[in-house]
Structure 1
């Protein structure tokens, strides 16, 4: 016998007898980098800026083990709801609602399950119940939800980005802000459209974003202004539509249209 999380478990116990795996259906989002991982973890209430855990605890009434956050799937009219994709130490994947995973982190979670007569965790039931409850609060009707999902565009293929600095052309699309989860404040951001890498290895990027630095502010930019500049492009998501970020823009020049 071994002692886990306040209750005894048989060493020969097969965890698959107590876990109903619900693998992700189709593609799911993975984390772009540490900032993205922290931002989503804080959004779900699982992480804090001072406590960036690489592992969390998965519990049932008879089983407990460490798991990692593999990624997430989106659902709802605008993809505003998430289902977390967990990975066990044996590589098995399962989906779970963020609120339920958060409950699992409490010390008395397993005891509450046992006292309530439950001996196993049904991931399928939890995900289904949570999704049904949240979608029921939406102002849209179910038929509208189905219509929106049917029109959802397939994910764009990931671009092969150059590692070195390159030369760009782009147009200023919008000025906005982005939450900085490390400072707890918002940073000024400029969104670009029609971003292109020009030169020997031309590549069309589309939309991208960049911190609205003092260097950019000196140009007194306005929406619609076309620019040429040097910089580095990286895979760092601003939103579902804007996946790439321009770092360290330099040699900036406004393009005059005659």
Structure 2
């Protein structure tokens, strides 16, 4: 079931809402294409001063639709893929990007936040990077570069290698979120911030963002390329096939026979 992205523009803020009937708000190729398209239009639309991301239902985003993602990556490779194109778009996006997070932010739903300038999280939000722990995959969205810069190498290693679920306060310590608020207040504060940014001088805001991001541009672009190459390689492995089978069968993967 493809997640749709609902868009509304109010007071200079383009609000993009991830939504599915299941409420899981998972990512797949059509979702990557849709979000990239929305952001490309927003980047050149002078009526858009800031972009706000949120999820409808019980959580922000549950990450990739694993079976579809695995097949896509193996069939077409990473370069020029919808995921690669969206990542490039996020790295270059010139306007303020704010996220309101609740429920859960899993996998790509969590690494996406590293491209946001401001993130407000509900206090009971759960985060997880399950790439190595249960998916036999690797991080994406440039997170192998961005998370160590935000969290420090030790904490980034813990979060990416162990893949444990962690709470909003740990996400705050890791630099993944900007502020933790009572559940239900996250969208209100995120919109306040977005509207405040939208009321400011756009050239000043966008130049400041560019200055903040420019120093890391080459590093994150190189990381994205390395991640893409590694992702295609690992998704073709027996380990990944076991992880996918376990996901479909709703059991823990068994990697004991792999060396």
With normalisation by structure 1, the TM-score equals 0.26
Higher-helix-fraction structure: 2
Higher-strand-fraction structure: 1
* Structure with greater Cα Rg: 1
Larger RCO, structure (CA 8 Å, separation 6 or more): 2
With normalisation by structure 2, the TM-score equals 0.26
